[in-house]
Structure 1
Amino acid sequence: MAEQVLSEPRRLRERWGALSPWLRIGVFYLAARAVTTGFFVLASAMSGPGSRFGVNPTVADLAVGWDAQWYWLTAVSGYPADLPLTSSGQVAENQWAFMPIYAYLAAALGAALGSWIAGAVVISLVAGYLSAVVLYRLWTPRVGASAAMWAVIFFVSGPLAALFQVGYAESLFMLWLFLALLLISQRRYGWLYVVVPLMGFTRPAVLAFALFLGLFGIWRWMRRQEDPLRGREVTHILALGALAVGVGFAWQVIAAVATGDPAAYLATELAWRRNWLTGDSAGFVPFEGFVQGAEFWFVSWGSSALIGLIVLGLGIVALGALLIFHRAVRRTGMEIRLWAASYLLYLLAVFFPQSSIFRLLVPLSPLWAAVAVPKRTAWRVSVLVVALAGQWWWIYNMYALGNTYWQIP
Structure 2
Amino acid sequence: MAREPLTTAVPARRGWTAAPAAVRVAVIYLAARVVTTAFLFVVATIASPASRIGADGSIGSIALAWDAQWYWFVALNGYPNELPLTDSGAVAENGWAFMPLYAHLAALVGLPFGAWGVGAVIVSLVAGYLASLVLYRLLRERQDIGTATWAVVFFAAGPLSALFQVGYAESLFLLWLFLALWCVSRRRFGWLYLLIPLMGYTRPGVLAFALFLGLYGIARWVTRARDPLRAVEIVHIVALGALATIVGFSWQVIAGIATGDPGAYLATELAWRRNWIGDAGSHFIPFEGFVLAAGFWFGQWGMPAVVGYVALALAVVGAAAVLLFEPHVRRLGVEIRLWVASYLVYLLAVFFPQSSLFRLLVPISPAWGAVAMPRSTPWRVGVLVACLVAQWFWILNMYGLEQTFWRIP
Task: Decide which moves more: 58-67 or 271-280.
Answer: 271-280
Alignment partner, residue 36 of structure 2: 36
Aligned partner of 2:101 in structure 1 is 101
1: CA distance between counterparts of 2:15 and 2:381? 22
Question: What residue number does 1:114 align with?
Answer: 114
Q: Which residue of 2 aligns with 1:248?
A: 248
- Is 2:110–2:118's contact at 8 Å kept on the other side of the alignment? yes
Tell me which amino acid in the other structure corresponds to 2:77. S
Partner of 2:376: 376
How far off its partner does 1:402 sit?
Answer: 4.8
Find out whether 1:177 has 2:216 as its counterpart. no
Aligned to 1:233: 233
Report if the CA contact (8 A) 2:92-2:268 is conserved: yes
Higher helix share: 1
Tell me which residue corresponds to 2:322.
Answer: 322
Q: Which residue of 2 aligns with 1:3?
A: none
Moved more, 26-35 or 396-405: 396-405
The alpha-carbon deviation at position 329 of structure 1 amounts to 0.3
Counterparts of 1:260-279 in structure 2 under 5 Å? 260-279=260-279
Task: Return the offset for 1:14.
Answer: 3.0
Tell me the secondary structure at the aligned position of residue 178 of structure 2: helix
Match of 1:188 in 2: 188
Does the CA-based 8 Å contact 1:354-1:406 persist in structure 2? yes
Is 2:195 the counterpart of 1:205? no
CA distance in 2: counterparts of 1:277 and 1:232, whole angstroms: 48
The secondary structure found in structure 1 opposite 2:246 is helix
Say whether residues 1:219 and 2:219 are aligned partners.
yes
* Deviation sequence 1:172-229 (CA, Å, 0-9, x none): 0000000000000000000100000000000111000000000000000000000100
Question: Which is further off, 272-281 or 206-215?
Answer: 272-281
**Could you say which residue in structure 2 is the equivalent of 1:4?**
none
User: Which residue is equivalent to 2:310?
Assistant: 310
> Equivalences for 1:153-164 in 2 at 5 Å?
153-164=153-164
Alpha-carbon shift at residue 282 of structure 1 (Å):
4.1
Q: Do the aligned residues in 2 keep the contact of 1:402 with 1:408 (CA within 8 Å)?
A: no
How far did residue 350 of structure 1 move?
0.2
Amino acid at match of 2:199: M
1:407 deviates by 0.5
Distance in structure 1 (CA, Å) of the matches to 2:379 and 2:111: 45
Give the Cα separation in 2 of the matches to 1:261 and 1:107: 28
TM-score (norm 1): 0.96
Per-residue CA shift, 1:60-89, capped at 9, x if unaligned?
001000000000000000000011000000
Offset of 1:16 from its aligned partner?
2.3
The residue that corresponds to 1:146 in the other structure is 146
Runs of 4+ more than 4 Å apart = none
Amino acid at match of 2:395: I
Q: Any idea what the Cα deviations from partners look like across 1:247-303, whole Å, max 9, x if unmatched? A: 000000000000000000000000000110012614100000000000000001000
CA–CA distance in 1 between the matches of 2:85 and 2:399? 28
Is residue 390 from structure 1 mapped to residue 390 from structure 2 by the alignment? yes
* Stretch of structure 1 that moved more, 160-169 or 112-121: 112-121
Instruction: Output the CA distance in 1 between the equivalents of 2:108 and 2:281.
Output: 38
Q: Report the AA paired with residue 147 of structure 2.
A: A
Output the CA distance in 2 between the equivalents of 1:96 and 1:114.
Answer: 25
Distance 2:121 2:314 in 1: 39
Distance 2:279 2:370 in 1: 43
Contact 2:48–2:402 (Cα < 8 Å) also in 1: no
User: How many percent of aligned residue pairs carry the same amino acid?
Assistant: 61
TM-superposed deviation, 1:21? 1.1
The alignment partner of 1:55 has SS state of coil
Give 5+ residue unaligned stretches, structure 2.
1-12
- Code of the aligned partner of 1:328: H
Q: Any conservation in 2 of the 1:97–1:268 contact (CA below 8 Å)?
A: yes
Query: How far is 1:56 from its partner?
Result: 2.8
Provide the rounded CA distance (Å) in 2 between the counterparts of 1:351 and 1:304: 22
Q: In the aligned structure 1, how far is the partner of 2:17 from the partner of 2:181?
A: 27
C-alpha offsets along residues 350-382 of structure 1, whole Å, 9 cap, x if unaligned? 000000000000000000000000000000000
Aligned to 1:343: 343
CA offsets per residue over residues 104-150 of structure 1, 9 Å max, x none? 00001111122101000000000000001101111012121110000
Structure 2 CA distance for aligned equivalents of residues 266 and 247 of structure 1: 15
How far apart in 2 are the matches of 1:370 and 1:402?
Answer: 36
> What SS is found at the alignment partner of 1:143?
coil
What is the match of residue 407 of structure 1? 407
AA partner of residue 78 (structure 2): G
- CA distance in 1 between counterparts of 2:44 and 2:244 reads 41
SS in 1 for 2:74: helix
What is the deviation of 1:103? Answer: 0.2
Match of 1:68 in 2: 68
Deviation at 1:51, TM superposition (A): 1.4
Output the CA distance in 1 between the equivalents of 2:230 and 2:54: 60
Aligned length: 397
Root-mean-square deviation (Å) = 0.9
Amino acid aligned to 1:85: L
- Which residue does the alignment assign to 2:353? 353
Query: Does the CA contact (< 8 Å) of 1:36 and 1:162 recur in 2?
Result: yes
Q: Is the 8 A contact 2:397 2:407 kept in 1?
A: yes
Structure 1 residue 50 displacement after superposition: 1.8
Q: Deviations over 1:321-344 (max 9, x none)?
A: 000000000111110000000000
Q: Decide whether the 8 Å contact of 1:196 with 1:244 is kept in 2.
A: yes
Q: What is the TM-score with the length of structure 2 in the denominator?
A: 0.96
- Distance in 2, matches of 1:48 and 1:154, equals 29
- Matched residue type, 1:40: L
- SS across alignment from 1:141: coil
